Structure 1
């Protein structure tokens, strides 16, 4: 039975809706066991996301995986949780686990450390633990207060799909052997009903569509909800942990020159056979990993040799300063900006149309009013007070951390305003496409600040970080609110979970990052932090407009191509075309440029395994066996990374660098 609930508080508090005291009641689906389990899972995800974010620039919300692991833990302890409490678990876990991106520890914080005083006019900034806490507090909450006011518009009135949130709701229904949530929602502007006609495609989740399912989940497999799921998670966790630990002592394991020593040494073509990378590929899906590897082939197989042999990038291929990797970074940046801007344009246009012509509900003359009672909603005055307080405190904290020369308080306030507006776009883009374009939105904020504080590299990067934080948190909570809407969890409970998870993660993320920086050079061989170079390079470009030799022609060409591809992809997705998923994703394609081939190949293996499993071996759309295994793979290496940190801090190095010298590839010995 679920314990430590605060239902007694609701009975004790006055029943009047206008009572200030009653506003602070806890809904019936709020429980401390769910919060604790969510925090435990979230802390693991936090280390995992920081670890992989510093390696590749990629992190995952892991909403579906958090719900799955929370369910298995609740059965193991045993603390049986209701479906609504499982949603609270995953909301708390994702809020805790995504802070490395929201607070910029995988991007803007390393970027500030790369600043060159001679070139940029400011010394590099390395935040202390206390300064990291202050910065995290400055950006950790204002995005959370942006979602509740938007919930009714995007979830109830417009009924945006939010595919990952819908998929998580369906998973929870499967795990608890409940009827599937009602996903037969009308679609705006041409979207058809999910159940309009028998045989119509179901768009609820990409991984369910790939399995060929055309109807919602109806008959969950009993085997999935038995201890079998726990056993599969456990053995995959152990396998990934053992391989990661072996790679710590023998780094060559994660640097295998499968294409020959020459290509590995001179052109960075090697393989990192990480089970966690394979697991991430399963979670990302075959279309996304395919886009990433297409980018890898074009960037590292075509453009890199062109830049090297033409003398445009004469340094070592892997160098971010004078090598081919730094050269193709600019083309990657152009692709990401073009893809983000084109993808956001129809979202902005539709939003403007709705503002000028009224909501979709008003146009149709239908009543799409709020379905929740006041005690389950987040009061409006909480939102207003929370926004005002979080912004005011944030301005002060940013000033204390970076000083007046870093970014002026007035400029920081403008940054919050821009971040808030861009967060609205992020929520809508996430609801439409299941992609939160936080990186592209951060670049838009940087563009504004190139005009507001021209020439100030630090202010430009910080402003982008503020926008990225708001967009990330607003999107995270809105995805949770969609899951809660489908499964009956109260918005206030999920709001509490997001606040609690974000607060705890401030300390966890900052501490983890400081441990990493003490044990490893960042950026460095083990943690190249590729997105840090993106942030800094874009800030420098906006300041002085200088590009590497002959890079502009490639940037323009690739930007134009992917602007067209993004437009076609949006149209195909809008019209629910089955081939839309096979149109390359510009963001995924660009990530293939940012990371060396070793990071992309293993993920493609995972994507292929996912495609084969779901097209040939999956029992039905509710078969989540491979997701269980993939989650174990990801968590195994993430947890072992903590062990590696402890060993590195204690002075325990690698056992042998055998193989690294002969191949010319370093798997981490010199880190």
Structure 2
């Protein structure tokens, strides 16, 4: 998700900075692995962790989560972490499966936490392709639907419309390189450097808890809560469908705060999905979105709109990039680039500093608990047990290097046939640099839990696009290069997160690598098919006023235009405003870091503020409602809210998300809703009544 790195948990922002820390003794801490040993749990061989039932459940859940992620991609681009939902539903399905087999007396292999980890890894890897595949950003930004929204670079050489064949082929040749690029570094990152990977650690803690008697009991209750709200959300989506027969019809267009506010994109659109997203996202994200909505649609756009005929031609529609739309898009891009550049430099700096400290202290790496040596730091029983099994099933370095080289050669040969604007030497250059960037992203993610995949993708847009040149289809070349780079660095950090999860659940690195590879292969087929269904079922896909505006597709395309053609595309005074908001994003981030975590929670995030600049604030109202529900719930019953809020939110997101499957099928079959519910002003209503009488 474009705002993915902003949504990652910041509670561990001051995590392991690369130095080695001493753990407490076994008597002073609760040993997770001793608990499992007492229950006679023996980790199965890596081959038995990849079971047939695990792959079947992973495939089913991958389809479900791909629909959810795709819908979020094509509406606002905000995608919350679904790891908890994947782990929870994986646990529920296989636990039910094994319970039935056990009662029938035919259960051959019990359900283990290692198998649960494999399912979670496979599902997240598969649905992750819906994000890194660019269906809501760079890939859809190549289409004529998005190109027609701009007067620049919309010639045939800068357009490539989606097609199932080339999308699947492209993803297969670029999505696996990231897996091989960081495999040789797994011991260094996980065991030697002991990077935290907060998301991977949190997922492992969750899975470990599921497989204790008390955790399993809570998991069943959480699944029931998820099921209830999944059903409610699905039926609510079904009910709303009946009232959407025409344009601007239905509950999604309810003018909650009046018609004037509705015209400026302020209304509650009754979306269970975004109420759920709001419950998962931190309060700061939702408040930042609301502030961005008010600043843009409440203040800036009305003021700039009043300059129509002075700053831009009065003959232009607001949706024209040389008109008001240009300010909306390019000021938003400036904020995104300012935030991205700041965090890129920040994470890169922490990475270099962390590496310096790691190598400076390399003689004190926690390799055993021999107290006779003053240079060796004692480690806990859990770490010894986990390290022993993590290093047991090795993945040979020659395998990773050979795999990377072979896949790179295949990609260098294949991709220029898909995008003739992107030359073989462009791709070769990226693949030479990519392992270094993949390492930086994986290491930085381990320190801060921030993946900067989209930032590296934007760097590829500007560098490769400018290298290709405007006359040679540089806009399309930049977008394709973004896809190549994003897939490598995103997959690399995801794999290392999963290695951390596997390390803490005693899952074999081999089973983790294979489950990630299988999930990636699933995603390379499932994600294009799901996108193709949306593309065919909703002809208005990508239009700004539609239900699926795909906002980041236009943003990424205009970034590419800006990188290739310079500032000629900007309307009057837009460049000055871009400079101001770029600088503001950098300054705000700097102030947030300077004041510390205590006060930073009161300062909005520029990345989140930028999202509603383009598409409006309607979804921010939904998300703030989700935050309000969670806030009140925590005030009334904090333990229960903390235990069930993620399950409730996941149910709300998944239910309405999966409703898009039957609604797409109905649209393809030509079945239209029977009713149009529309809201008019009293004067417009009188005109309609008068027309109908005559």
Task: Tell me the CA shift for residue 367 of structure 1.
Answer: 4.0
Q: Is 1:646 the counterpart of 2:676 in the alignment?
A: no
Task: Tell me the CA shift for residue 461 of structure 1.
Answer: 1.0
Distance in structure 2 (CA, Å) of the matches to 1:570 and 1:315: 45
Task: Tell me the CA shift for residue 358 of structure 1.
Answer: 6.0
Residues 351 and 444 in structure 2, CA contact (< 8 A), matched pair in contact too: no
Q: 436, 442, 452: which is aligned to 1:427? A: 442
Residue equivalent to 1:67 = 87
* Deviation by residue 1:389-438 (Cα, 9 ceiling, x = unmatched): 222222222122122xx211111222333444333332233323333232
Q: Is 1:272 the counterpart of 2:269 in the alignment?
A: yes
Distance in structure 1 (CA, Å) of the matches to 2:505 and 2:360: 24
Task: Tell me the CA shift for residue 650 of structure 1.
Answer: 0.2
Residue equivalent to 1:529 = 550
Residues 157 and 361 in structure 1, CA contact (< 8 A), matched pair in contact too: no
Q: Is 1:631 the counterpart of 2:650 in the alignment?
A: yes
Task: Tell me the CA shift for residue 630 of structure 1.
Answer: 0.9
Distance in structure 1 (CA, Å) of the matches to 2:547 and 2:558: 21
Task: Tell me the CA shift for residue 316 of structure 1.
Answer: 8.7
Distance in structure 1 (CA, Å) of the matches to 2:43 and 2:500: 28
Task: Tell me the CA shift for residue 28 of structure 1.
Answer: 4.6
Distance in structure 2 (CA, Å) of the matches to 1:463 and 1:530: 20
Task: Tell me the CA shift for residue 59 of structure 1.
Answer: 2.6
Distance in structure 1 (CA, Å) of the matches to 2:552 and 2:617: 16
- Superposed counterparts of 1:221-620, under 5 Å: 224-226=218-220, 228-251=221-244, 252-265=250-263, 267-311=264-308, 312=311, 319=319, 321-322=321-322, 324-353=324-353, 359=359, 361-362=361-362, 364=364, 367=367, 371-372=388-389, 374-403=391-420, 406-455=421-470, 456-520=474-538, 521-524=540-543, 525-546=546-567, 547-570=570-593, 577-614=597-634, 616-619=636-639
Residues 74 and 136 in structure 2, CA contact (< 8 A), matched pair in contact too: yes
Q: Is 1:41 the counterpart of 2:35 in the alignment?
A: no
Residues 192 and 366 in structure 2, CA contact (< 8 A), matched pair in contact too: no
C-alpha RMSD of matched pairs (Å): 2.8
- Superposed counterparts of 1:74-89, under 5 Å: 74-78=94-98, 81-89=111-119
Task: Tell me the CA shift for residue 502 of structure 1.
Answer: 0.9
TM norm structure 2: 0.79
The answer for unaligned runs of 5 or more in structure 2 is 1-41, 100-109, 245-249, 369-383, 685-694
Residue equivalent to 2:139 = 109
Residue equivalent to 1:148 = 183
Residues 376 and 493 in structure 1, CA contact (< 8 A), matched pair in contact too: no
Residues 344 and 455 in structure 2, CA contact (< 8 A), matched pair in contact too: no
Distance in structure 1 (CA, Å) of the matches to 2:325 and 2:450: 26
* Deviation by residue 1:490-544 (Cα, 9 ceiling, x = unmatched): 2221111111011111111111111211111321212111111111111111122
Distance in structure 2 (CA, Å) of the matches to 1:584 and 1:154: 32
Distance in structure 2 (CA, Å) of the matches to 1:315 and 1:105: 33
Distance in structure 2 (CA, Å) of the matches to 1:329 and 1:642: 30
Distance in structure 1 (CA, Å) of the matches to 2:60 and 2:364: 46
Task: Tell me the CA shift for residue 305 of structure 1.
Answer: 1.3
Q: Is 1:175 the counterpart of 2:198 in the alignment?
A: no
Structure 1 residues 363 and 572, CA gap change in structure 2 (3 angstroms): farther
Task: Tell me the CA shift for residue 260 of structure 1.
Answer: 0.9
Q: Is 1:134 the counterpart of 2:150 in the alignment?
A: no
Task: Tell me the CA shift for residue 55 of structure 1.
Answer: 1.0
Residue equivalent to 1:210 = none
Q: How many residues align?
A: 594
Distance in structure 1 (CA, Å) of the matches to 2:227 and 2:59: 19
Q: Is 1:161 the counterpart of 2:196 in the alignment?
A: yes
Residues 151 and 321 in structure 2, CA contact (< 8 A), matched pair in contact too: no
* Deviation by residue 1:94-143 (Cα, 9 ceiling, x = unmatched): 01111111111111121101336973242521132111111111222111
SS in 2 for 1:458: helix
SS in 2 for 1:224: helix
Distance in structure 1 (CA, Å) of the matches to 2:318 and 2:207: 44
Distance in structure 2 (CA, Å) of the matches to 1:65 and 1:549: 47
* Deviation by residue 1:329-388 (Cα, 9 ceiling, x = unmatched): 212211221212211213323434566676254164654896445552322122112211
Distance in structure 1 (CA, Å) of the matches to 2:43 and 2:443: 38
Structure 1 residues 377 and 283, CA gap change in structure 2 (3 angstroms): farther
SS in 2 for 1:624: helix
Structure 1 residues 360 and 169, CA gap change in structure 2 (3 angstroms): farther
* Deviation by residue 1:20-43 (Cα, 9 ceiling, x = unmatched): xxxxxx445332322222221111
Structure 1 residues 615 and 376, CA gap change in structure 2 (3 angstroms): farther
Distance in structure 2 (CA, Å) of the matches to 1:562 and 1:275: 31
Residue equivalent to 1:4 = none
Structure 1 residues 614 and 272, CA gap change in structure 2 (3 angstroms): same
Distance in structure 2 (CA, Å) of the matches to 1:388 and 1:124: 30
* Deviation by residue 1:563-583 (Cα, 9 ceiling, x = unmatched): 12323444667xxx3444443
Structure 1 residues 81 and 548, CA gap change in structure 2 (3 angstroms): farther
SS in 1 for 2:147: coil
SS in 2 for 1:152: helix
Residues 331 and 555 in structure 1, CA contact (< 8 A), matched pair in contact too: yes
Higher mean Cα deviation, 645-654 or 38-47? 38-47
Task: Tell me the CA shift for residue 446 of structure 1.
Answer: 1.7
Structure 1 residues 123 and 342, CA gap change in structure 2 (3 angstroms): closer
Residues 295 and 592 in structure 1, CA contact (< 8 A), matched pair in contact too: yes
Residues 315 and 322 in structure 1, CA contact (< 8 A), matched pair in contact too: no
